[in-house]
Amino acid sequence: MSYETIEVNVAEAIATITINRPKALNALNQQVIAEMHAAVDEIAANENIRALLITGAGDKAFVAGADISELAKLNPVSAKHFASRGHELMFKIEALPIAVIAVVNGFALGGGLELALSCDFIYAADNAKVGQPEINLGIIPGFGGTQRLARIVGRNLAREMILTGMMLSAEEAEKKGIVNRVVPAAELMEAAGKTAKTIARKGRVSVQATKQTIANGMDADLETGCKIEINAFALCMASEDAKEGTSAFLEKRKPEFKGK
């Protein structure tokens, strides 16, 4: 499939989606959201793809937010539709059975930070900046920022960030647990690619089970979360990958996971 506002590449089982509107700092307009939906569906349907990187074109921004020129024209009805489509996309990314790494190569603001937060984790360039500056536009985050950011950094820092619109440096974002790793800008893609390849070599069944178990348990109480884990663990044991992984260890060889 061909796209106008994003680029999708697949190499060595790793897909990369690059949001490609560098003149608007890769701002998310409705076309980007629609094309991202289609690209993520395509990736979900391709069993040969084992990890996904999401990044922005150019060296200045990952995504500087929703496209403000489009936002300015929304009424409550069209805003609800746009916000809902954005939320659906974030949930679709979270539900992918493969690892998804946000490669934050510059500003990740508003909808850009929300997109990054829907990925499994974030690697950021040392010059990146993250924030939820919607308050400066007289609005609030609309692609999940009030919810996912608070779950990651806690209620009080989320309140401070969203109420002030402050930007955090990559280093501060790493300290607060928003970013997993800060890398010199020139080495960012390579570092994320290396981690993607590491996860891509694991069994597809256990990668998916890990993601689902953490996601389903996060909002539950500890006992319920642990019950979810017990069931997922038992299901994993029915897979060929589990037999292969344990046999390979005992036979002192490298496992060859088939993803079944």
* Cα dihedral 258/121/41/33 (nearest 10): -170
Looking at 134, 158, 205, 207, which residue binds ligand CO8 (CB under 6 A)?
134
Instruction: For residue 223, indicate whether it is catalytic.
Output: no
Instruction: For residue 172, indicate whether it is catalytic.
Output: no
Nearer to ligand CO8, 24 or 235 (CB): 24
Binding part of the chain for ligand CO8, among 1-9, 69-77, 120-128, 217-225 by CB under 6 A, reads 69-77
Q: Does 245 bind ligand CO8 (CB under 6 A)?
A: no
Instruction: Kindly report the number of other CB atoms within 10 A of residue 158's CB atom.
Output: 20
Report residue 70 CA to chain centroid gap.
24
**Closest C-alpha among 183, 152, 43 to residue 99:** 43
* Cα dihedral 186/190/191/194 (nearest 10): -170
Compose the 103-132 pattern: x for residues touching ligand CO8 by CB under 6 A, - for all others. ----x-xxx---------------------
Nearer to ligand CO8, 71 or 182 (CB): 71
Q: Does 62 bind ligand CO8 (CB under 6 A)?
A: no
- The answer to whether 63 and 6 are in contact (CB under 8 A) is no
> What letter would DSSP give residue 160?
H
Nearer to ligand CO8, 26 or 206 (CB): 26
Q: Rounded to the nearest whole angstrom, what is the least distance from the CB of residue 109 to ligand CO8 in the complex?
A: 4
CA dist., res. 79 & res. 68, Å (int): 12
Contacting positions for ligand CO8 (CB under 6 A): 24-25, 27, 64-69, 71, 74, 79, 82-83, 86, 107, 109-111, 133-134, 137, 141-143
